[in-house]
Structure 1
Amino acid sequence: MAIQPIGTVVVSTQASSPSTLTPAGTYNGGYKNAQTVRLRIGNGGAGQAGLVGELADAFIRWWCVQGPGSKSPHEAPFLVEWYLGDTTQSLSYLSTGWVDIALTYNEAAEMTLIRKGSAVERQLVFFDHFYIVGPPSNPAGLCPEDSVLDISGKIVVSGNQDILIPPDSTVRPPTRFLTRFDKSATNIKENELFIAIGQVPWALPPALWYHIYPRFPAQALHAASVLQEYTLTDRGMWLSGEKGVRDGLKVYKGKLNLGANNSTLDDHSESDDTVLLNPCSALLGASARDKQLATQFMQWLIAPDGGQKVIKEFVKNGEQLFQPRFPGV
């Protein structure tokens, strides 16, 4: 079966180079007369899941009805553009002024831009959660009681064994792990998990069970489903994915119920839920075109009746995808 790239509202499965950068989505808040782009946002998975569009539309409506735009007869509705990029790409777009806001998932990389002066403000916006998923046939023999590191170890051991002695394809697929290998927050997290058990399967020559597939989250999840491979994804991408994709995979580790025990948001232990927590922060670029509006967007994102309400109410397939930064919102 051929792997066909899929997406939510994406134009392309690859990020554009700066010279050809085009938005993956443009939002008008329902105002068909909106013409001027006043805000540009860089993000990957949450954009593909649809959250960036929901936030953009809600912010435009708030600005025009309740915010500064409602107080001036000269203020017109405007457009917000979303540029598809993983964490590393989105931060690069921010530092070069190609986007005004970056929604990203790596504190160390974000603080580098703050210290450099390329970003002037950083706010925690919401929590996503990583999921380890794989084929229902479970060729690596993962168990519910396995820790995250146990799972990583079993995938390595089984993958190596299947290279030496290939399994009967009529019984089960070989153990393989699909990596986006793209400097995304997901790629960084999976690297951390492998390094924690003393493994670097990407080192030359890469392990034969380590499938390098540099695409965005939706496309990577689709490929893992078709090829029956383990992979690391996130809750937002999982729940917003097509049913056929999810039917071909099973969640082996990850927080399934956001309503159960939210203590991990303030937990500094090394529990599996904490290890797989995926916080998203918004960074305001020093070169933002419309600094006043971009700054207002940053404030609106963390307002309980603003962005936080949108995040809490964002549902796909009957499930809340993300946790607001404040659990009680």
Structure 2
Amino acid sequence: MAAYNPASHALLHEHRDIVPNVLQTGSKAHGATPAAAKIPDGLYAKAGIAMADASLAPQAVYNGGYTNATEIDIRIANGGAGQSGLIGAWADAFIQYSVNSGSSPFCIAWYLGDTTESLGLIEAGSVDIAVTYNEAAEKQSIDSGASVRREYGFRDHFLLVGPKSNPAGLNSTKDDILAMFNKLVARGNADVVVPPPADVPPTRFLSRYDKSATNIKESELFITIGQVPWGLVYSKWYHQYPRFPLQALNAAAVLDEYTLTDRGTWLSSPASVTSTLQIYKAGGDSDPKDLLLNPGHVLLRANIDAKYKSICERFMDWVISQDGGQKVIREFKKNGQVLYSEAPKAK
């Protein structure tokens, strides 16, 4: 893999929460960018890249505090947990563990991608590990031979959030998540026919509409109640906003819209965003069939270069160990709150 240029480290960290570092063919930065990963055609269309020969630069490169580290040994693709800082916390802790165990210092690169994009990068051989949130897609990656190992990394939780004025009349005490989605549809349709008074926001739902795990989950919830608001002619209250988690939540706050997000994104967002919204329903850990539980799994790509295969396999072992990756999960906080839950212990 390409060597890491320390001069670019601060810049990559500074922009890790914004947009993917997609490089078009002919970009002046293309040749100087460390570990640029090949993007399959159309995979990052929401970033405005649909042509062949585009590449993806790391969103951030972590060295565990060893400034003499120069080579990227592990490439990890992920969306929300990268934006929250968890991938960086895992990376730094694993590098330190490895060096303490006798390894030479090395770097780990994080590439910003939602679940569909991360699995696409795995299939293309552009990254070594993906952290994703959809069981069916993950198992397909294993069945197709693109990935050879899948481990339960942590539990995140979906949240249905929306404006505090609550124009849809959601009842957090009495309504389950399906009842809430029914109300969003009914009130949204009604507000299209007869707009509410000027001082009351209309009921609107912001969808990331980007094939992310969050988009798949909200689509699953709509389909469960027999609704497809994205179908032609699409429902006017259904706002298609294909952005990454932090940006989507910010837009929902600005526009007074309901949206599905996750706890990691919520706790990683500034108070200027979360103070304007209310959590109406949140997933939990007690019921493994909770519709708002958001399991994060770690997948290992097949056919990793021999030079890096061992270190990637060791990362997979470490990430599920109680004294390794799970310890990081237990201690990873934002604003004094733990973002994620440990993976359930195997029975």
TM-score under structure 2 length normalisation:
0.84
CA distance in structure 2 between the aligned counterparts of 1:108 and 1:122, rounded to whole angstroms: 12
CA deviation string 1:118-177 (max 9, x = no partner)? 10101111100000000000010001211100100000011011111111122x101000
Is the aligned partner of 1:92 residue 2:110? Answer: no
Q: In structure 1, the residue corresponding to 2:22 is in which secondary structure?
A: coil
The alpha-carbon distance between structure 1 residues 327 and 225, as it changes in their structure 2 partners (threshold 3 A), is farther
- The equivalent of 1:211 in structure 2 is 239
CA distance in structure 2 between the aligned counterparts of 1:143 and 1:8, rounded to whole angstroms: 40
Is the aligned partner of 1:101 residue 2:129? Answer: yes
- The equivalent of 1:176 in structure 2 is 204
Equivalenced residue count is 302
The CA deviation at 1:308 is 0.2
CA distance in structure 1 between the aligned counterparts of 2:182 and 2:314, rounded to whole angstroms: 46
Contact preservation (8 Å) 1:14, 1:215:
no
Question: Where in structure 1 are there 5+ consecutive unaligned residues?
Answer: 1-6, 269-273
CA distance in structure 1 between the aligned counterparts of 2:312 and 2:329, rounded to whole angstroms: 19
- The equivalent of 1:282 in structure 2 is 298
- The equivalent of 2:19 in structure 1 is 13
CA distance in structure 1 between the aligned counterparts of 2:328 and 2:20, rounded to whole angstroms: 28
- The equivalent of 1:185 in structure 2 is 213
- How do 1:28-43 residues align onto structure 2 when only pairs under 5 Å count? 28-43=63-78
CA distance in structure 2 between the aligned counterparts of 1:227 and 1:89, rounded to whole angstroms: 27
- The equivalent of 1:158 in structure 2 is 187
Match of 2:335 among 307, 317, 324: 317
Contact preservation (8 Å) 1:140, 1:154:
yes
Q: Which has the higher contact order (CA 8 A, sep 6+)?
A: 1
Is the aligned partner of 1:307 residue 2:336? Answer: no
Q: In structure 2, the residue corresponding to 1:133 is in which secondary structure?
A: strand
- The equivalent of 1:4 in structure 2 is none
Question: Where in structure 2 are there 5+ consecutive unaligned residues?
Answer: 1-12, 24-38, 40-53
Q: In structure 2, the residue corresponding to 1:76 is in which secondary structure?
A: coil
The CA deviation at 1:10 is 2.0
The alpha-carbon distance between structure 1 residues 12 and 244, as it changes in their structure 2 partners (threshold 3 A), is closer
Q: Percent identity?
A: 52
- The equivalent of 2:155 in structure 1 is 127
Contact preservation (8 Å) 2:184, 2:204:
yes
- The equivalent of 1:247 in structure 2 is 275
The CA deviation at 1:288 is 2.4
Contact preservation (8 Å) 1:52, 1:82:
yes
- The equivalent of 2:104 in structure 1 is 76
- The equivalent of 2:94 in structure 1 is 59
CA distance in structure 1 between the aligned counterparts of 2:117 and 2:324, rounded to whole angstroms: 27
Contact preservation (8 Å) 2:21, 2:59:
no
The CA deviation at 1:15 is 6.6
The CA deviation at 1:249 is 0.6
Q: In structure 1, the residue corresponding to 2:202 is in which secondary structure?
A: coil
RMSD over equivalenced CA pairs, Å = 1.7
Match of 1:293 among 301, 311, 318: 311
Match of 1:149 among 171, 178, 192: 178
